[in-house]
Chain A
Amino acid sequence: MVIQQFKSKLKLGYSWFARHISPAQFAVILAALIIGWLLFVPPIHGYADNGDFYRVMYSNGLYHRLGQAYNHNAYVVQTYGIMRYFNEHQATLFSSQPLFVQLAIGLNKLFYSRTIFDIRFLGLVYYLFYLGALYLLTEALTFPAKRSQNYLVALAVVFVFADSSLTLYFNSLFAEPVMLLGMLYAFSAFLLLARGRYRRRWPLMLTFFVSVILLITVKQQNAPLALSFAIMSLALLALVQKRHNRLFIYLATLLVLGSGVATYMLITKDFNDINGYQTMTRGVLLKSKNPEKALSEGGIDRQFALLKGTTYYQNYMPLSTRSAYMQKNLIQRYNFTWVLKHYLRHPDEFSTMLNLVAKDGQLTQVKAVGDYVAASGQPKGAQTHYFTLYSTMMGAFFPRKFAFYVLYTFTLILVYAFSAYQGFKEHQPEMIMRFSFVVAATTIILGVMVVAIVGDGDADLAKHVFMVAITSDLLLLLLGSDIANHRLWQPIVSS
């Protein structure tokens, strides 16, 4: 009797809850609390400088305040000075990140100070956008089914994407938050379009293309992703029938490809040299059984094998990496195809390197820098464990073999290919588009890994494969939510 009563009360409670709070709202509220505590409640958390912050700081008119060490990888720096006069620093690289930083500086000037920048304003900008992304993501994964399982999907979204290893980035000058936002918005908008969530399509279309372009242009390493996103863009054709609308999609796809090309072309010579050098010394030479032969085979003086394992700005080297001799006899003697050829000739070395990447595929928390501010009293370089269960688990248990990634993605392609086949037959754009996302995600995961090796060796690997982790997370969530809603191989039905 009591149990019966309790059950009916629980039911009543649930129906009240379900009436007032949708799964998407549920996810956003949870995430807002979890992330908000991490980012804004003092002592705040974030990522300390790994030495790359200057690229963003100076071109955005920020500087280290007096009394702050320049290379401060032990603690997060909470406040920066805002330059008040003419800023002579040119952007060291072409990126969409300054859009967010400038917005944060603007808010900071409006509400806090014109001379001191608090990193929390940048955190706030990312945080607000991120909550929006989580809303859309949960909505996209759960729409249109109104089932109790979808609260589990919402919990899963929070579990995966409110993970601190991702959100710590918000209180830092790293460009990763833009990648995270771009990917979530692009995926959610795409899926919402596929599932016909909103009557008007153009706001979602716009969201999709804008976030894709922001994502591609934020970092040079993302330039090749333009190809993956072009697949998704073209899949939008399944959705529209009108000719002029199709034309718009073609044009937008061209724009996506163009942004990739522009990002690639606008890589500064310095960055090319750094990446080129490290591709050789921390890539080709590192795992080669006979580094000297590898060089002479490719027409480069074998003495350069001595530089094996060194980085571009390594101290105590026999000659400057920027010297004319090094440029002429090493850095300009090879390019992307040279490296690719080398790896194709030595598949065993390539697979060793790829497994090295696969090892870092799911490591999202930056281990090299601290997560606390100095005032927190934590030891130097201390890492937070607050809400990092998911990333810790993935880092430990996700198989660390490249072959696994290949199999994993191809299995998913197979699973979704079946439904795409049906989609084609029954004119269900949703199933075709879902498949196109899986294909694009496969090219992102595998492509990013290969490009990381051929483009920069093993240097800074975990950060270069950031996209791998979030893409595979999205794939997992998509698969999970589709299974939960019984629509893996069936067209969506409103329940």
Chain B
Amino acid sequence: MRRFLIGLLLILGLLWVVPAQAAVTPKVLLAYDSQNINEQAERKVDSVQRLLTSLNLEVHTIAIDQYHKGDLARYDFQGVITMINWPQMKFSSHHFVKDRQQFAGVKLHIGPQLVADEQQALDVQVKTVHHQQFYLTANRHQQLLPFSDSIQVVTQKNQGRAIGTLKTQIPTQQSQYPYGVLNGHNGFLPFYQRKGLSFLAASQLISELFGEQAGQQAPLLTLTHVTPVSKLKYLNQVSQFLYQQGIPFAVSATSIQVNTDMPAFNRYMRALQKIENRNGIIFLQTPEIYDTTKKTGPKLGKVMYRQLTDLTRHQVIPVGISTVNYWNQDDVYRARALDFSDYVLLLANPKAKAKVYARQSNTGGVYHRAYYALPARSLATVKSGTDLTQQSELQFNVPTAVTISLPSTKKGVASLKRQIKRTRWNWYNPATANFKTNLQIGNQAFRYQSGSYFVNNQQIVIPAMQVEQKKQSQPKPYKAAMNGFFDFQSQVLIVFIIIVLVILVVFFFIGRRVYRNMFRRK
């Protein structure tokens, strides 16, 4: 009876908690016509997913032709994004078009094929221009865009606001079109790019359209490709340099769950401790997976637990988990690897072929804070216009991690130092900002707040650990009773064969002498 009551209370508790959470997370439907992998449009889908997740929205992604009548209303979406990646194919669904027309929430259209009702809602007129190359100007910066075959631009805008301007290159034809258009709940982007000024402008539009408190924030400098087998010498040099320059930073570092008793693992731990002591924070990056089975979930859970335990045992306390975006679109990965922390860093997806889902859900998880990882080189646009790294007032509208790969050569380290010295904007400082993370492993709670680490609410000091030179002991192989016999038998046979060999050789010579004597004249 008592058990039953407890069970009942638990269920009631869950019922009470779940809707309360669901109510606060707004949902957005991201509907694309095609992933168009040939044109790498799947990377654009990935980028938009991450942007929306970093705006704390729950992203549901579908292909338009998978849309069922009434989905928009049934699942209580607050916004819908139409993304056209392969206009030649004209994939569509009249249910979707009709439902979208009646939908009262936020609507964004990315790409061509802006239909009449969308144009009406935006209060714009559009036309298609062919074979053009445009300059994009926004916030006093400008960027030369790649040549485009065909692009749908807004020719007349009656209301609303434009973000950025597209100008043709031809001097005689001084036509200008707005880039992003915002009108109330409606938005339009003629195209989407993952880098440069056009990304910044697009992210500004998306955050203004969806975000209630779209504020600007400084980007977090993040070193990626930090692994236990990285060149630790260079990792130490880079962290030392950043510390001397007074630049706070983060690393997205993987760990390992085997051979952790080797000195090599201690050296890695020491390098990460140094980072913590040098005003750096650590995101634990999720491991590589090549194939999945039914057991992937529990195994992954164990691996993550083991890695986190090993790290924290060495006083390396991750502030969050970093992962490739598709892990956040997967039920198993999210539950077993990402839910350890409320802070995540979302890296771009690998190539389509390298994506291995365990249970693809197409529904993104939502976190207290999700960083959008933006490679630093995608801002170094000096060749095509303003070098964005030289701008001190660059707008980042979502939590952004500007990422740089850890170099693996001396030359690479020098060039990284130059690159960082050149950058003019301010970096985000987790030690002074409102950056408070929790990490629950078993019964231990780890917390990072204002530059300090806490274990079970007790502040700890990260020491510079001495590398212990543990004696390597080879594990003794298990010996079965019969093995002894077989080993013994092997030895006996070897001895036996040696004896036979010796006797044979002796006989050989004796026989030879006898044989020769037969012919020798006496």
| Residues on A facing B (Cβ under 8 Å) | 71, 289-292, 301-310, 313-320, 325-326, 328-330, 396-397, 399-401, 403-404, 407-408, 410-411, 414-415, 418
Contacts and interface: CB of A to CB of B under 8 A. Distances in A.
Contact of B490 (A314, A319, A399): A399
B478 interface: no
B275 to A, nearest CB: 16
Given A303-B268, A415-B504, 19 more contacts: A291-B262, A292-B263, A306-B258, A306-B268, A308-B259, A317-B288, A318-B227, A318-B287, A318-B288, A319-B227, A320-B354, A329-B231, A397-B489, A400-B486, A404-B490, A404-B494, A407-B494, A407-B501, A414-B508
Interface of B: 225, 227-232, 254-259, 262-265, 267-268, 287-291, 293, 296, 299-300, 303, 354, 408, 472, 474, 486-487, 489-491, 493-494, 497-498, 500-501, 504-505, 508
Contacts of A306: 228-229, 256, 258-259, 262, 264-265, 268
Contact of A292 (B262, B303, B354, B474): B262
A320 B229 contact: no
A308 B229 CA distance: 12
Contact of A303 (B229, B354, B489): B229
A325 B300 CA distance: 24
Contacts of B303: 316
Contact of A315 (B225, B290, B498): B290
Contact of B474 (A289, A304, A305): A289
Please provide the 7 A-B residue pairs with the shortest distance between their CB atoms, ordered closest to farther. A318-B254, A399-B490, A316-B287, A318-B227, A316-B303, A407-B497, A303-B229
Nearest to B292: A315
A408 B288 contact: no
A318 B256 contact: yes
A407 B498 contact: yes
B225 A316 contact: no
A239 B490 CA distance: 40
Contact of B289 (A289, A307, A316): A316
A410 B259 contact: no
Contacts of B230: 303, 325
B497 A320 contact: no
A414 B494 contact: no
A394 B152 CA distance: 76
Nearest to A418: B508
B408 A319 contact: no
Contacts of A329: 229, 231, 408
A480 B300 CA distance: 55
A305 B474 CA distance: 14
B477 to A, nearest CB: 10
Contacts of A314: 290
B238 to A, nearest CB: 15
18 contacts: A289-B472, A303-B230, A305-B259, A306-B229, A306-B268, A309-B258, A315-B289, A315-B290, A319-B229, A320-B288, A329-B229, A397-B489, A404-B494, A404-B497, A407-B497, A407-B501, A411-B497, A411-B501
A415 B293 CA distance: 55
Nearest to A317: B288
Contacts of A313: 290-291
B494 A399 contact: yes
A180 B6 CA distance: 66
A415 B254 CA distance: 59
B296 to A, nearest CB: 8
B494 A318 contact: no
Contact of A316 (B257, B264, B293): B257
A318 B497 contact: no
A403 B265 contact: no
B231 A411 contact: no
A396 B354 CA distance: 44
Nearest to A312: B290
Given A411-B501, A415-B504, A315 B291 contact: yes
